[in-house]
Chain A
């Protein structure tokens, strides 16, 4: 008990007196292979692509990276993964926080013991050093633009989403809504799930969640089609949703009447775009998330000097990996590239 303050004091003194000395803070040793980790928010094909990016970067920069996917998509699970990583002596962690606003304390705690960056979904209030990903709100607005292209005359639309307590899902949805209602850019806005949302042209009839249960997603899409026979467009925000929406619309015999817009690059979604049933999709670049996360962590962990380290960070702590719109005209090229990256070709 009495020794602890002394140790702390001497440590502080050491830091203060010789700021430029290569002190192995956090045990960083430039020669050794750094131990890094890439933590996702769920299990998905999407993250398999991300994993390929991670592996490519690990090879290129010569570091050990483990990939962790919490199967149940819960905060407690993710917390356990993060704490276990610290216990194992992991030096750098890139994480996609499941519930950022409620994980600040946890992330700060982890950030005190290792180098932490966020990817895919940000936690701006925490002490993470940087965020690598796209702005989900902007991606949502891109998706909104696709909807406007698909149904220029407007009409009622329905949004399907796995669950709405995830920050990226909320912001994507908000981007779509704001774009369709012609509102200003304001990523902090949030409309409740059952809010009545109607603009000049577009009306957001409903947002349905399915807890990532695939049969339930299909049932929800079918029931929405039953309930409203004037739907102009349906949007699926999670990777598995657009193909199931496509099946529901197909079996309802309403292809051509109900337009569809998607998120992510499920094979069947891409096929749907090729076939002309789905107007387009907004894709992120999970490969780059993985690659850039590892690249940045690698640099940070190998750099013992704090001031030099700060200089390594991207501007505003945000490394933008922009979302892209995929339509019928560029889907072929995108798909070929994707197959190459996932090694499926």
Chain B
């Protein structure tokens, strides 16, 4: 009987938080050797469902069945003991541990009070080989790339003999190559009978991997599509309940040069010299593999890191002083890569975050009227979904947080808007809104410079693309010559005819 029962069955799960019904009566089924993709906008209830499955939250109503048996998960450790493992979105491994220690964290092999280091190294090597990660178990986790860390997380789940893997945005910080490697591992796990719940905003991945696609909207099931039929349009309508029109990309007419970068060198690539220009009304993308010095370049432009050499002119005026304050005053602002650490003061309110960079322009004392106006204007113009300006920014979804970052810098009337990974962790709906807003701003004469690991994003947003390779500009592609192939060739150091 047990053999034909589904691996995992979610039946009528409901969960409410103060003021929000996060899940109402959600059902889905996961069979052995199956990949079920869970899609939905931020706030649709995906992460709540995931936390219910991983034993973090207890459902208010409904049942979980593992191989036909009703189970009550008493906590994450209990879930793991029953074979349900969560692969976190934010890589949660402790950087200061060795690979072997990370694989066995919480279940160390021991002899009495002593650790059996050898046995753990051996075991870690074996289990990591299964996911195709061939590293020395004695090296530190900190030395691994994000893709390797993701594989390590999966290896850890396999070590715990997980039968159900929950992968939450597994590719969000991976390069194209690393993501491809992850897909292969996923296929292999599927062949071996592991059931996988796959959560992603990247619809391309979803249609590539999923056997079935389950949609969530406002905490309810919004439908299910077999993997073969999961086209981009159908999945979007499953998520947003309507079809997003693929708007025609507006064309911009570049004006005069507002950002001129001459001979800039960063600490990451001291020998590589970068020169380029950005005109007003132009959207310029910077592409390149992870570690090609993209973020370092942006941070140096903004003065967050000190550039080793070079000159940066904004609106024809060279930056004299170093530092974010000076750059912002000159009209160059940065929406940084790590929103939680650098972009926002998470514990402060939406209003206080919005006014933070510009408040000092309004005098020594806090101009409350200005703050209120700015907050109301930003919420309306950018469509920030929040309970009010007083809400703590850390409780907003990723997309809304990114809109707050945009709002606070737009208040500074910048000449050049620099964005590092503008839509990381942002859902489809908010992503479209942010793209539209950026096009609009460029139309109004702002110069936009951005870095993105997602080629799709680079292709849809940029007028012109600079491709970095080892800190140097390997090539420049005008819109007419933009394609995934040309970018990848330049990024990997090949010549483009």
Is A in direct contact with B (CB under 8 Å) within the complex?
no
Which B residues contact A (CB, under 8 angstroms)?
none
